[in-house]
């Protein structure tokens, strides 16, 4: 978060969760990797996937995501939807 605006990775994660519905950190990581151009670095995918865990922790601490009611994955809160202008109710 920078001066009231989400960092690129935060905004991307919020949009993915908002558009998909509840996502576990591992699935979020897979979607973040899929959304990027391929890399010749063999560590690229695993690093992005691990980063998703830290990213979800930060988004949760900031109140932009919450544990899904089912207990499986994360959903975007009203504050998170407002931050990225996501009208959906799935996340």
Token pair in block for residue 90: 């799935």
In tens, the pLDDT along 29-84 reads: 888 888 877 778 888 788 888 888 888 989 999 999 999 888 788 999 999 999 88
Confidence check: pLDDT of 91 > 50? no
In tens, the pLDDT along 10-40 reads: 888 899 888 888 888 888 888 888 887 777 8
Q: Are 72 and 22 in contact (CB under 8 A)?
A: yes
CB atoms within 10 A of CB 24: 15
Domain residue limits, the chain: 8-84
Which pTM was predicted?
Answer: 0.79
Q: What is the largest CA-CA distance in the chain?
A: 39
Domain 8-84 has CATH 1.10.3720.10: no
């Amino acid at each position: 978060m920078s001066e009231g605006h989400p960092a690129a990775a935060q905004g991307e994660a919020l949009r993915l969760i908002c558009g998909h519905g509840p996502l576990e950190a591992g699935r979020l990581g897979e979607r973040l990797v899929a959304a990027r151009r391929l890399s010749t670095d063999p560590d690229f995918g695993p690093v992005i996937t691990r980063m998703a865990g830290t990213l979800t922790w930060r988004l949760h601490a900031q109140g932009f995501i919450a544990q899904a009611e089912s207990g499986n994955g994360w959903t975007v809160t009203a504050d998170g939807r407002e931050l990225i202008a996501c009208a959906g109710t799935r996340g």
